[in-house]
């Protein structure tokens, strides 16, 4: 499995469109491929699926985003149908146990599936920021929150045999993208031939240096047992 993200600090460069076409091309070539939309704007999701169906998914999830534990007691069968990426991240966000039953993905075409995005995923980003310092002390929940996206990718790969996972991101240098870019196997920077894209790429380069130092520090400070919760080549050391 290879996890590939599309990312640029400059918006409007066709990032989601390129992700869409790369995923479909890989699928047509016979490679099992999964889209995960981690852009709160959900452009990749909107490209891939009917808005009415997306509305129904979000509407069913609304009580879970407000209070996952209480909603799950009332509706435990919700995991029998496809769910958004924020729903999958929510147990870690709320400090609850992982789901016992993994929800199915949304099938788009032969060899191609989707985990839809959700506008509320910014709440998970806020939780990463709250728990970030705890990772330096090896706090289990903090580490789980940081590594959860990669763990979800590995879980679905084990179930469905994906060769490629394509993650779409927002045009931001915030902490959610800091985590995403640091746990993927590689990323593509779509750009237009203009000054703004050039400066966007420059900003990414500067941020990568800082992010790598942060993750390498965490990795050095935590125990060898907790390091196993991280990707083997965590912290942009690839």
Give the pLDDT confidence of 82-134 residue by residue, as tens digits.
999 999 999 999 999 999 999 999 999 999 999 999 999 999 999 999 999 99
Element (H, E) at 3: strand 2-6
The position carrying tokens 């999701």 is 45
Taking only the tens place, the pLDDT of each residue in 175-193 is 999 999 888 888 898 877 7
Who contacts 120 (Cβ-Cβ below 8 Å, separation ≥6)?
40, 65, 86
Q: Which residues pair with 113 in a beta bridge?
A: 34, 107
* Residue 36: predicted pLDDT: 98
Q: Backbone phi, then psi, for 224, in 5-degree steps?
A: -60, -30
How many domains does the chain contain in total? 1
Between 47 and 205, the more confident residue is 47
Is residue 178 in a domain? yes
Whether 44 is covered by a domain: the verdict is: yes
Task: Determine, yes or no, domain membership for 235.
Answer: no
Query: Is residue 217 in some structural domain?
Result: yes
Residue 234 in this model has a pLDDT that exceeds 60: no
Per the domain annotation, does 238 fall within a domain?
no
Does residue 72 fall inside a structural domain? yes
Range of the domain at 202: 2-227
Least confident range from 90-94, 114-118, 146-150, 200-204: namely 200-204
Residue 193 lies in a domain: yes
State the CATH number of the domain containing residue 30: 3.40.50.300
Examine residue 232 and state whether it is found in any structural domain, yes or no. Answer: no
Query: Is it the case that residue 56 has pLDDT exceeding 60?
Result: yes
pLDDT band at 233 (very low <50, low <70, confident <90, very high): low
């Amino acid at each position: 499995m290879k996890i590939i993200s599309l990312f640029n600090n400059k918006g409007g460069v066709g990032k989601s469109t390129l992700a869409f076409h790369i995923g479909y091309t890989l699928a047509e070539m016979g490679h099992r491929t999964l889209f995960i939309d981690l852009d709160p704007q959900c452009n990749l999701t909107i490209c891939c699926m009917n808005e009415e169906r997306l509305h129904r998914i979000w509407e069913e999830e609304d009580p879970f985003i407000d209070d996952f534990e209480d909603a799950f007691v009332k509706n435990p069968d919700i995991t029998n149908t496809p769910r958004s990426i924020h729903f999958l991240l929510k147990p870690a966000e709320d400090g609850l146990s992982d789901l016992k039953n993994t929800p199915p993905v949304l099938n788009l075409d032969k060899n191609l599936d989707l985990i839809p995005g959700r506008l509320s995923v910014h709440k998970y980003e806020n939780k990463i920021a709250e728990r970030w310092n705890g990772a330096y002390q090896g706090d289990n929940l903090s580490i789980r929150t940081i590594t959860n996206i990669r763990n979800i990718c590995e879980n679905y790969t084990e179930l469905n045999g994906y060769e490629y996972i394509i993650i779409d991101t927002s045009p931001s240098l915030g902490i959610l993208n800091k985590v995403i870019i640091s746990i993927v196997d590689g990323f593509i920077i779509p750009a237009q031939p203009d000054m703004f894209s050039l400066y966007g790429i420059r900003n990414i380069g500067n941020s990568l240096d800082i992010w790598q130092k942060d993750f390498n520090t965490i990795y050095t400070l935590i125990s060898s047992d907790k390091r196993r919760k991280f990707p083997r080549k965590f912290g942009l050391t690839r």
